[in-house]
Amino acid sequence: MLLNEVVEKLPNMSKCLERGKVVIIRIDINSPIVDGKILDDYRIRAHAQTLRLASEAGVKSVVLAHQGRPGQDDFTSLEVHKPYLEKYVERPIKFVDDVAGPEARRQIRELRDGEILLLENVRLLAEEVIERVPEAQAETYLVKKLAPLGHYFVFDGFAVAHRSQPSVVGFPMVLPSCIGPVFERELRALGAVFERRGEGVMLLAGGAKIPDTLKAVEQLLKNNFVEKVAVGGLVGFVFAVAKYGLLNDEIRREVERGGYLPHVERARQLLAKYGNKIHVPVDFAVERGGRIDVDVYSLSQAPLDIGRSTILLFKEVVEQGDIVIFSGPMGYIENKVFATGTVELLRAAAKKRLILGGGHTIMAAEMAGVLDRAFHVSTGGRAFIQTLGGEEMPAVKALLMSAKKFWP
């Protein structure tokens, strides 16, 4: 079944917007955060439109979302996001420091028509980061406690659509469910790229989510959905180590300290199979009293950006494409000194049909001044390329199951 045909089978959010009813809405406002401050609010802006529609329809909105993952620096309370949501929804947002406990449930029961309640970071619940089949997730604490209070469920969090977690796939099993507008736009954009079957499609993949990116790159090349891939960021570092070997003791220690060894081996296997299609950095930028470019054989510390020669190499890849998917920055863009590779490549890619994926990529596109020139801006980075690579989205599967059960 073609992706556009799948979208047509999913109930539109308008079916779930019945005045006076409680609607549980899963969005994704996971944003780049440093020292507790949100660096880019694009996802919040995108989902604010969804919440405004719900409020205007007079439903009682219960919002589920997350920020970061336990143990990571950006794992914070969603109270940080509340003022941003209020700014873009243009109405008050209630917040409760609870996910599914007594206080959260009390406030849900007291909601009035048109009000919006933002629950605390759903990943405070350990069960939320465990992936299981939808039927099992319907039996979790989160779903058991909140579903009885709701009348409908709306899924709009494309960036977590590839996660089979309770807040993603559990609710559709027990509540009539609809697809949100952000998610719908994402699926339709994916459908447009699918039609190309890889012809003239180039992927620039960076960032720090190494396992997800390796998996996506493999699937995209295996299924011929992209012609070429250029890798930067930590992903590019791993590929460089795989291609050129553990060059010295310092790099070996860096690889071991980061736990990258298994990823290096997988990257080596991908290079052996698709080496002519994968472009790997030939130099990197490092911090030595300022930005200095060094070739791969002189690298003795963790890189913070791709180097000048690699930028030129990757620009050639961009020039050969008609569609460029940019997922993940090429370097540590939080420091403008090391945003050069990302910014220059984004400006080159903006001359093509540019698809942007992921929070940090969107932030970089704003830095580069090309956000409004993109063909499509995806709220999900890895979710976009993983789906493009042919990976099933648990969220879509759960919504289809729900439609069959509740919307015959």
359 is in an annotated binding site: yes
28 is in an annotated binding site: yes
DSSP 239-269: HHHHHH---SHHHHHHHHHHT-HHHHHHHHH
Residues 76 and 73: their CA atoms lie apart, in Å, by 8
373 is in an annotated binding site: no
- C-alpha atoms less than 13 angstroms from C-alpha of 206 in its C-beta half-sphere: 29
Token match 């791969």: residue?
Answer: 296
> Contact at 8 Å (CB) between 150 and 175?
yes
DSSP 10: S
Are 324 and 352 within 8 A, CB to CB? yes
Q: Is 17 helix (H, G, I), strand (E, B) or coil?
A: coil
The answer to the question of whether 249 is labelled as a binding residue is: no
8 A C-beta contact, residue 43 and residue 379: yes
> Sign (positive/negative) of CA torsion 237, 240, 245, 247?
negative
Give the residue among 196, 111, 162, 194 at the shortest CA–CA distance from 383.
162
Binding residue per annotation — 67? yes
In this structure, what token pair is assigned to residue 77?
């309370």
- Closest residue by Cα to residue 345 from 304, 392, 313, 377: 313
Query: Is residue 91 a known part of a binding site?
Result: no
Over the range 59-80, which residues count as b (16 or more CB within 10 Å of their CB) and which as e? bbbbbbbbbeeeeeebebebeb
Q: Is 358 annotated as a binding residue?
A: yes
Contact 32, 359 (CB under 8 A): yes
Which residues contact residue 8 at a Cβ distance below 8 angstroms, ignoring those fewer than 6 apart?
none
User: Distance (Å, rounded) from C-alpha 397 to C-alpha 33?
Assistant: 31
Contacts of 350 (CB under 8 A, 6+ apart): 368, 370, 373, 374
Question: d(Cα 45, Cα 41) in Å, to the nearest integer?
Answer: 6
Is 258 annotated as contributing to ligand binding?
no
Query: Annotated binding residue at 29?
Result: yes
User: Binding site annotation covers 68?
Assistant: yes
Cα–Cα distance measured from residue 116 to residue 122, given in angstroms and rounded to the nearest whole number: 16
Residues making up the binding site for ATP: 334, 358-361
Residues making up the binding site: 28-30, 43, 66-69, 123, 163, 334, 358-361
Residues making up the binding site for (2R)-3-phosphoglycerate: 43, 123, 163
Residues making up the binding site for substrate: 28-30, 43, 66-69, 123, 163
